[in-house]
Amino acid sequence: MMRAQMLGAHGSRGAILSFADGTVASVVASYMLARFVVTRKAHHLLWSVGLALWAASSFGQGSAFVWGWSVASYKIYYFSAILLAGFLGAGTIGLVLRRRRVFQIFAAYVVGFAALFAVLLALAPVDATLFSQATIGGLALPSNVRVWTPFVSIPGGIAFIGGASYSIVRTRRLFAVLITLGATFPAIGGILARLGVPWILPFTDFAGIVSLSAGVLLARMPSVAPSASVAATQDLPPS
């Protein structure tokens, strides 16, 4: 009965999109990690971690649609979903800002918050009566845990979207637009989920990762305008 409820209505499409979302995010995360091994640039590592968290949250959501939640899978999903914006935002700051001190402080803040939130989440009780729903957001957790989430999701989201938007101004190339959309779609989904439309999350997340991946791919392609290509090379995520 519970599984039928999970896969009813938007569930089947949500499961497919969530697994597809996680697969694409895993591929891009692996690519970013490979870039870090070559370049040793911190923003590659932060983007790799952020995309790995994106993949983990998507696979967790997909498994919930098909098999339902367990306490462990729910906590891993929630941790990943909350922290991914922070790491992606930190990586974006490291890419577009020349003030390294700002980047170092923000990156340290995100890593420190992740450690603190992991402890809080591990110790938090979970309302398993809500596990009959696949898209429950943070409702199964107590408010004294959820109250902490804006302290990383909001600054992380602002840094991610703001940094990507700044790249549009600097490069005026399509890849920057796509990466900005990739940052914006999941943020819109998160807002709608808080307004009582949680089933939209797999759809906005999928739109986000497809746009982001397309932007990363286009960023590696040469521009027809040499000056634009030089500027883009400074701002593209894989560089």
pLDDT value, residue 105: 96
pLDDT value, residue 226: 39
pLDDT value, residue 229: 38
pLDDT value, residue 110: 98
User: How many structural domains comprise the chain?
Assistant: 1
pLDDT value, residue 10: 55
Q: What residue numbers bound the domain in which 6 lies?
A: 2-235
pLDDT value, residue 209: 95
pLDDT value, residue 132: 81
Q: Closest Cα to residue 174, out of 226, 204, 217, 238?
A: 217
Model pTM score: 0.86
pLDDT value, residue 230: 39
* Residue 178: how many other CB atoms lie within 10 Å: 22
Q: Distance (Å, rounded) from C-alpha 213 to C-alpha 219?
A: 10
Q: Closest Cα to residue 190, out of 140, 154, 143, 216?
A: 154
Question: CATH number of the domain that 54 lies in?
Answer: 1.20.1070
Q: Distance (Å, rounded) from C-alpha 31 to C-alpha 35?
A: 6
Dihedral sign, CA of 96, 102, 107, 109? negative
Q: Which stretches in the chain have pLDDT values below 50?
A: 1-9, 224-235, 238
pLDDT value, residue 235: 43
pLDDT value, residue 34: 95
